[in-house]
Structure formats: C-alpha cells, structure tokens
Chain A
Amino acid sequence: MISNTNFKLTTTGKIIAFLGIFLVLAANNTGNNLLYLLAAGSLAMIVAALITAYFNITGLNFRWEGPFECFAGEELHMTIQVAEKHHRYRFDLAISCDFHGLLRPEETTLFDVYRIKKKRGCCKISDVSLTSLYPLGIFQISTHMEACEVWVFPQPLPSSLSDSVEGIGKFKDSNIDFSGDFWMQRPYILPEDAKHINWLVSARSEGEWVTVNSSPRSEPLKIWIDTQVLSDATIEMFLRQTTDLLLRAHESHTKLFIWYPVDRDNPVWISVDDRHGLTTILKWFAELEPGREYSIPDDNIASPAFRLSPGSFNEGRSDGGIERVKT
C-alpha cells in the first residue's frame, strides 16, 4: 500500500528549535562552551527525534481488511492490518482512536477504525492516517493510508407492503405458515366474505388474516423492482423500505429472487437467501439513481414475477401493492 509520510513540528518541537537557534547565536556571540554544549544538545534532540520518528513509522505494511459494507447512518467498523517487517520495535502508533504502545519486530496487529456514513453509495475513505508523537513529542509524524472502498447501503426502514384494495398486508414470518403460502396477508375486516380467511395462518395468529397474494414456499418468489417509476422524491424511501424487506427475507431464508438487470448483456435473477446475492443487490441499491432504465423480466419465465414500486409500500394508495407482472 502506498502511503505518504508527513512531518510536523509540535509546539514543544518549535520551542526547542527556537531555543536551539537562540543558544547558537548566544554561544557564537560569547564563545561560551557550555552554551555551545546546550545549543548542540537542542539541535541534536531535534535531529535525533526526527530520525527516530522517521524510522518508527516508515517501513510498515498496511492492508485494509475490507472491502467494507455498512448501512447508512450506522457505525462502520473497519480494520486495518499493520505489519512490521524491518526487525524494529515501533512505539506509540495510533490510527483513528486505536492506540498501540508497542509493536514488536515482525509482528502484525490490527487497528480499528470507526466511521458513520449518512449517505448511501460507494465511497472511498481516504482520511485515515497512522500518527505517532514518539519519541519526545517533538515531531508529529503521520503516514497517510490508501483510500479504502466502503459500500454504504440504504438504511433499512421497517414498513409493510400495502394492499391493492383495502387494509395493509403483512409480511408474515415463514415459521408460522406451514402450507407454504405466506406472502401478503392482511387482517380480515367485516363484512368481507369469510371464505377469504386463511384459517391455517389465522389459527396460529391473533385475529383473522386474509391472503392477498401468495406464492408457494416451494416455489421461488420473484420480484422485479420497477426502477423506471423512481424519482428523486421517492427513491430514497423506496430503497430503504425494499432493503428492509430483503433483509427480512434473507433472515427468514425466503427463496426470494430479485431481477438484477445491471449487466445489460446478462441480466439474472439473484437470490437474497445467499449472502453474496443479497450484497450484490444492496450494492446495486447503493448506486441506484432515479430514471435509469433497465431491462424488465422477459415472458419466458416459469413462474410469475411480482412488481415492486414505491406504491407498494404506501398506505391507502389505490394503485399500490405488489402486482403480478403481466406475461
């Protein structure tokens, strides 16, 4: 990893340097050997501190243990590996708030760096440096770390999917449903026809529930995210709500597939049950801009896909909800 080393005289160092120059002038003016001795001592202190500080910090190998991912607004914990390869003892090293008093020769250690990123996106954290005031606090020497790539995903916003007609649907925990139909429930409201009640789910829940949309557990649930209807006003909220949805699906090991059209030549369905798949989708969310056009799922699919849009999460909208994609 390439790094830049910077030196800065601290206040103590500036005072010692000033005193050293003053002593040189005084000694030269008077010929007093003791003053020469003190002047030489001051200058030697600065030069020795510079040399020691330089060798204390140079030659270290740095490696980010990344790439790093986090949700917007949450604390990001990064680690950087620092390895000593020059058979030297290193003293008083600090990166961010992590301070190591001693690093032995050929030793490797980890430093923790914490950050909070408020905006989603892929960014580079480049303001991390290793600092040291060793040996006497005369010089502050710092080595700048190479920038580290961080993916900041949309902050999950718990919300429920809205029904296309009435009430609010609930995303039920897969542990409750044994029949396999667990998608899109809503409370039963009088005077609806009671035959719509899903008794299998209702028997294990409080109240009665009506299935709005369902998909068998054994079959994968496909969702197409309609990015064309996203605008500046709706995109952030939509992405946060969708992220929350996907995370819950991942945690409950739902066979949920998301249409991933980023690669125009090879759009695929990505499973959120797989961590890598979830990460891929979230990375797409991190960089998603309104108005981008992507391909839609074609009609050569074995099972129908559901369309997810900002309206899917809105309450009381007549055109909301997850729709089946017309094939």
Chain B
Amino acid sequence: MNDSSFNEKLSSDFNTVELPADVYRYVILTGILAVSTLWTTGFTGMIPKIVLAVGIVLIYFGRPPFSLGRAGQIASLFFLGITYYQWKKDIPGIVALSDFTCWIMILQWWMITDIASAQASNLLSAMLVFAAAAMNVNFLFPLAFFPYVIFLFISLSKLGFNQHIADIGKNTRYSPKIRFIAAAMSSRSWLSVVSQGFVFLVLWIGFFYLIPRPDIMGLAPGVGQRKLMGFSESLNLGEIGTIRDNPMVIMRIRPILNPPISPSIRRKLQSVLLRGCSFHSYKRGAWSRSGYRGYYINMSKNGGEFRLSDENTNSNQLVALEILLENTDPPVLFIPDKTKTILLDIPSIQIQTDGAFFLVNRRIGFETYQVKVALDDKAITDPGPLKDVKFPSFVEHFLDPGDSGYAVKTLAEDVASSTPTLLGKVLAVHAFLNGNYRYSLEEFSTSVRDPVANFLFQSQQGSCEHFASAMTLMLRHLGIPARPVNGYIMEEWNNFGNYFTIRQSDAHSWVEVFFPDQGWVSFDPTPPSTSGTLLQRFAILRDLRSRFEGWWFTYVYRFDKKIQASGFRKLFMQAGGLHKQLALVAGILRGNLILKILLLIALIILYVFSARIRLSKTKNRHWIPNWYNEWTMRFDHMREKWETPKEYHSRLIRLGLFPREMRPELEKLEHAIENYAFGVDHTLAEKEGRQVIGNIVEALKSK
C-alpha cells in the first residue's frame, strides 16, 4: 500500500505532501492504458506513440523531471487551437476532442506534484475511455479497457491511501504513525482484497442489466405486448394501464437543405407522418398483419436508390431528409408519407405488400438513409358517389370489418349519411371522431370483448390506436377500404442541432384510405392532446434538453458506421506499418555492424547517465536508509524522526523489546547504517545491514 520512501518525504506541513514515486507511475500507466482504448478506434494517429514515449520517460523518473510552469498553460492553449482547426476541417468532433484531451493529459502528467493533480490526470484518462466507448466501434475496446480498469483501481487505491495520510497530518500536529504496510500482507489478506473485487464484478454485471433502458433487443418486459410505449408490429386494443411517456430516441431526421431550413418548410415537415407498417384484419380487439407478403430487393443493383412513385414532382417541392435510425426492434425503416425516393447503402431490404420496409440484417449502431419527400399541398380529389366507385380487387381484404359489432356499422351509417361521396364520407367520419371523442392514454375498462365499441359507445375516450381502429372499422362498414397504420409523428425540432428528434413517445397510429386514382391516403382522426408532459409545459426545460441532446449528438455521437469502418481500416494499417518498421530496423541492424556498435555505445552512455541520476538522488536522501526504515516500521514503537539508530535501539532495549544480549548485533547494525550514509560503498553497507537485520530477526524468533 505504501513504500518506505513516503516516510522520507513527510514534512511538518502536510498540505504539501509529495506524491510517492510508485503512485506517480501507476497514474501514468493508467493514462497510457486509457490512450490504448482510444487507439482501438483507429483515429489517433501519432498520439499514442507520443503518449507512450512521454509516459515511459516519466515512469522511469518517477516524478516530473522539471516543472513546466507557465509553458504548460500556454501549450494547452496551443493544443486548443489545433483542436479547433481540426474540427473546422470536418474531423468528427469527438476525435478532435479526444486528441485535445490526450495532449492535456500529457501536460498534466508533467505537473503532477500532489494527490489532487494526480486525480485530475485520472479524470482525464476516464474522459478518454468514455470517448472511445461513445465511438462504439469494435471488439478491441474491451481488450484495452479491462487492463485500464485494473490500473485505475490500483492508482485510486494508492491515492486514497496517501490522501488519508495527508488528512491525518492536516488534522493533528503529530506525525502520522504508519504501521503494517504491504510487506505484512499475506496471501489471505490478498484473497480478501480479491473477493472485494469479485463483489465489484458481480455488481457491475448486475447494474448493466438493471439500468433502465428502452425496449431494445427484447430486454425490457412486455415487448411482445403492446403497452403503447412506442411502435410495434402488433396492434392490440383493450390493455389496461397508464401509458408511459418513453423519451428514448428512435431516430433523428435532418433536412439536407442549402440554404438552411425555413420556418415554413419546417412547419410542413412537422405535419409529415413517418410510416412504419399497416394492419390487415381485425378480430377480438387485435389487428394483425397476416396476409402480407414480403419481397427482397437487391439495393446494390440500383445504386441504393428506390423510387416509390413515378409521378413527376417539381424539384422545388422536394425536400431531402437524412434519417438516422437507432438500433430498434422491430427492424423497420420508417418512411415519411409522400416520399418519392429512398436512398440506402444497405445491400438488401425487404418490402412487404403494404409498403412497409424491413431491414434484413441489423447492423451495429444506427442506420442512415435518405429520402426525398414532396411537400406540395395537393388536394385529394373526390372520386364521386361511393356507390359508383369501383375498387380494385387487391383492396378487397381492407373492406372486412372483422368481428366488429353491428352497432359500429349503424353509427358509421348515421355519421356518413349526410354525404354520398367517398371523400365526404371519409371526412364525415374523421370529423365525427375528431370532434366527439377525447384523447386519453388511460384504459379504464377491463376485458371488453370489443374495445372499439367500448371506445365509441362507453368510454368515449382513448388513444390514437382507438381512433385509428374506430375510423378504419367504420369506413370498412361503409364499404370504403381502409387500414390502420403504426408509425411516428415528427414534431420535436432541435434548433441547436437542426434536426427533428423522434422518440418512443411520438409513436402514433392513423388511417390510410384507398382512393382509386390516388392510392392510399393518410388521415389522422386523433384530436390533439390537452395535457402535456412536463417538458411540453415548460419551454425552458424543453429548450435545455434540446440543447444538451443537440450538443451530444453533434459533437459526440455523430459517428456513423462509415467513419467507424474507416477507423478500423486505419488501425490495421497502423499495425501493419509498425510491423514493417520493426522489420526494417531489424534488417538494418542485421547487416550494419557500425550501427550496432553505435547502438551499444548509446546504451552504455544511457546506463552511465542513469547511474549518475540515481547517485544524485541518493545524495538528496535522508541519511537513514530505506531498508532500515522498513524494518523499524514493523515494531509498535517506531523510531522518532529525531532519534538516531543508536538512541532508538537503546529505547527498544529499555522497553524490553530487545534483550540486552542483542546489543552487539545492534551495534553492528548501527555501524552498517553509518557506512551506508557516509561511506563509499553503499551496496556493501546495505548488504551487511540486511544481513545483521536477518540475524536479529532470527534471534528474536528463536526467543
């Protein structure tokens, strides 16, 4: 836990306790390992080599060889400028910030003099690890991460120990007496320490699964049942419970516009619905997708482009959107309605007959794709009286109201009786639901046979799914093809990041109605909600959240697969380059005798130089040697700072800890200490001293 050199550095003013060399080395090592986690991303260039070189030098010295002073502070400004320049060159923000942190950490190493500055270095190393994790790259990260954790624990433990000693010194006017240091640790005590580490591991794994997280990969309970927490491939009505407002981000949609988006376009975009999938048949309160077939599309043949409509649209009305879809389940691609073209870099996708797009293989990280959406306000053409409208055969399935009751049919006919046209009837039903029913996320009824009938005739309040289901069934009873659709709405605009944020709580259901000349047209019968969440009520909270989210996404998280893949390639190139460099050096050395001789001379000079450094360190040391201090610390009565070894031994004899017969041996020990402190041959003196100590210990044991 501590080395004896610490005692030499104790001073009366404990606020300036110098950091022991071994603690300093562990802190440097922790920093080097943190950079190694960053190195696994492949985006670090020369920095890991510089960090390693500087770290090795500092580890050798065990302390900063000289103080940087003001130069260190000026250097940090210089590196800040470099970082800014990198960011302007479109290097991902997180990479630039990581580089900056590495430089600052190196400067910090040079300024470590006490516990607080060492902890600051540890904090910087933790920041580097967080950045590497945020880049979410590859499987090499854990290989570097776990050694980092081990050395972080060691350095924290040692810093905590020294902090404790320093606190003791501050609070009393006495020198702290340190007893039973690591030399006394047995295998059993180490086992105790290891078992504590095991507790940490168990807690780590436990917390990893216990930390609340959204429905990803089916980890959360109830993902199969629809609890209206968000989008799902099923649509079951009649479940009880308050809907939770899940803020998990599903996707971000960024308009790709030059110049930037205007408020009018933004408003139009906010009325766009993001289509997920639709439903086919209704039975006992549940909608199903059975009956839909899927087809695989090879996107690479079309250069990644998929056209949804052949209709020519004025290019001024087309808005390109970039969609960044998080790793969600099910793997649906959400397509805004009125999308004309989709651009994907995915090799193949699956498209189902209702127009739902599914990913075939789910890749790590978020998926990015682009769509072009037409924002023209084209009015819906009324095809005329419903009885004259001929629907194609493929929409026959969408006329079946399932086991929906007769009462629903009667209601639909009453509502739509005022108009004979198709569009008129649709709008009548839409207006009826929108104006007479209340939006609510509470489910009050229990186990009703027909939730839609219960919604229409009993509760008269419900969620968007009730509204969509009711409108669909009413239209089907009227003979109009309709289907409910699940997806998301796009409302939350992040002014800081210039994108729309779509969350689980933005999940929505609406209705698609088939018009013979126009295809499936969306209608949303759900009235707006009267009560808002806390964020909706307090604009300032909303703004703060947008700012944080925008900052995080823009500068930290925006690290897509392409950038990750290029980093991985760079990593392999660096590893290959290193191998070649080593082979080159080996080849040169093999053939060149003069170079070998020069290298040998350089090593000898280094050895001599380091010996002089060790000698100069010896001169500045206290004259009582470490090996003697280590031995005296095993006794209950430790040597006082002002006591010479002779006085100390006399005291031990007076206290009865040593028998008087041992006086000659103690004199030999005193002699050895004097030779070590004031003589020439320190090594021999130390050897003699240790031998005498061994004899004394043996003699004490035998007594």
Residues of A within 8 A of B (CB): 10-12, 15, 19, 23-24, 26-41, 43-45, 47-48, 51-52, 88-89, 91-92, 94, 96-104, 110, 112, 114, 131-138
Contact = CB atoms under 8 A, between A and B. Distances in A.
Given A45-B200, A97-B176, 8 more contacts: A28-B211, A30-B134, A31-B214, A36-B208, A40-B207, A48-B199, A96-B168, A100-B180
Interface stretch (B43-51, B153-161, B262-270, B520-528): B153-161
29 contacts: A12-B160, A19-B126, A19-B130, A26-B552, A26-B556, A28-B248, A29-B552, A30-B326, A31-B216, A31-B327, A32-B136, A38-B129, A41-B149, A41-B204, A44-B206, A47-B203, A47-B207, A52-B196, A52-B199, A91-B1, A94-B168, A96-B174, A97-B168, A97-B176, A101-B1, A101-B2, A101-B181, A102-B181, A138-B160
Given A44-B203, A94-B164, A11 B119 contact: yes
Interface of B: 1-2, 119, 123, 126, 129-130, 133-134, 136, 141, 149, 153, 156-157, 159-161, 163-165, 167-169, 172, 174-182, 184-186, 188-189, 192-193, 196, 199-200, 203-208, 211-214, 216, 248-249, 326-327, 549, 552, 556-557, 636
Contacts of A92: 1, 160-161, 164
A260 to B, nearest CB: 36
A51 B188 contact: no
**Residue with the highest number of chain B CB atoms closer than 10 Å, among A34, A52, A96:** A34
Which 8 A-B residue pairs are closest in the complex by CB-CB distance?
A137-B160, A40-B207, A34-B133, A44-B203, A48-B200, A44-B204, A40-B208, A89-B192
Contacts of B129: 38
Contact of B179 (A12, A34, A41, A100): A100
B200 A99 contact: no
Given A101-B181, A136-B160, A137-B157, A27 B213 contact: yes
A184 B113 CA distance: 65
Contacts of B160: 10, 12, 92, 133-138
Contact of B119 (A12, A28, A45, A103): A12
A41 to B, nearest CB: 5
B244 to A, nearest CB: 14
A250 to B, nearest CB: 23
Contacts of B133: 32, 34-35, 37-38
A31 B164 contact: no
B274 to A, nearest CB: 18
B204 A31 contact: no
A26 B161 CA distance: 32
Nearest to A98: B177
Contact of A137 (B141, B161, B208): B161
A97 B136 contact: no
B156 A12 contact: yes
B168 A99 contact: yes
A141 to B, nearest CB: 11
Contacts of A37: 133, 208
B250 to A, nearest CB: 10
A300 to B, nearest CB: 49
Given A26-B552, A37-B208, A137-B157, A102 B176 contact: no
A138 B200 CA distance: 14
**Residue with the highest number of chain A CB atoms closer than 10 Å, among B167, B175, B216:** B167
Nearest to B178: A99
Contacts of B200: 44-45, 48
Contact of B180 (A29, A34, A101): A101
Contacts of B549: 29
Given A32-B136, A89-B189, A101-B181, A110 B213 contact: no
**Residue with the highest number of chain B CB atoms closer than 10 Å, among A19, A29, A33, A131:** A29
A40 B126 contact: no
Contacts of A40: 204-208, 211
A131 B164 contact: yes
Given A32-B134, A137-B164, A97 B174 contact: yes
Contacts of A32: 133-134, 136, 557
A152 B129 CA distance: 58
A96 B171 CA distance: 8
Contacts of A52: 196, 199
A33 B557 CA distance: 13
A102 B189 contact: yes
A110 B180 contact: no
Contacts of B119: 11-12, 15
Nearest to B179: A100
Contacts of A112: 177
A103 B188 CA distance: 12
Contacts of B176: 94, 97-99
Contacts of B212: 28
Contact of A89 (B123, B188, B206): B188
Given A29-B549, A94-B164, A133-B163, A102 B180 contact: yes
A77 B180 CA distance: 21
Nearest to A41: B204
A102 B185 contact: yes
Contacts of A19: 126, 130
A187 B43 CA distance: 97
Given A41-B149, A52-B196, A99 B164 contact: yes
Contacts of A134: 160-161
A110 B635 CA distance: 12
Contacts of B172: 96-97, 114
Nearest to B192: A89
Nearest to A137: B160
A39 B199 contact: no
A75 to B, nearest CB: 9
A277 B167 CA distance: 42
Contacts of B196: 48, 52, 135
**Residue with the highest number of chain B CB atoms closer than 10 Å, among A24, A96, A99, A132:** A99
Given A38-B133, A136-B160, A101 B207 contact: no
Contacts of B327: 31
B211 A36 contact: yes
Contacts of B159: 12, 137
B40 to A, nearest CB: 11
A10 B163 contact: yes
B130 A36 contact: no
B171 to A, nearest CB: 8
B161 to A, nearest CB: 6
Contacts of A43: 203, 207, 211
B409 to A, nearest CB: 45
A236 B188 CA distance: 57
A34 B168 contact: no
A30 B216 CA distance: 11
B156 A137 contact: yes
A235 B262 CA distance: 92
A24 B207 CA distance: 11
A34 B140 CA distance: 12
Contact of B326 (A31, A98, A102, A114): A31
A101 B156 contact: no
Contacts of B175: 97
A11 to B, nearest CB: 7
Given A19-B126, A30-B557, A92-B1, A39 B211 contact: yes
A47 B326 CA distance: 31
B592 to A, nearest CB: 47
Contacts of A135: 157, 160, 193, 196
B161 A114 contact: no
A59 to B, nearest CB: 14
A23 B134 CA distance: 10
A132 B248 CA distance: 41
Given A15-B123, A29-B552, A137-B161, A99 B134 contact: no
Contacts of A96: 168, 172, 174
A15 B216 CA distance: 30
A142 to B, nearest CB: 11
A7 B68 CA distance: 38
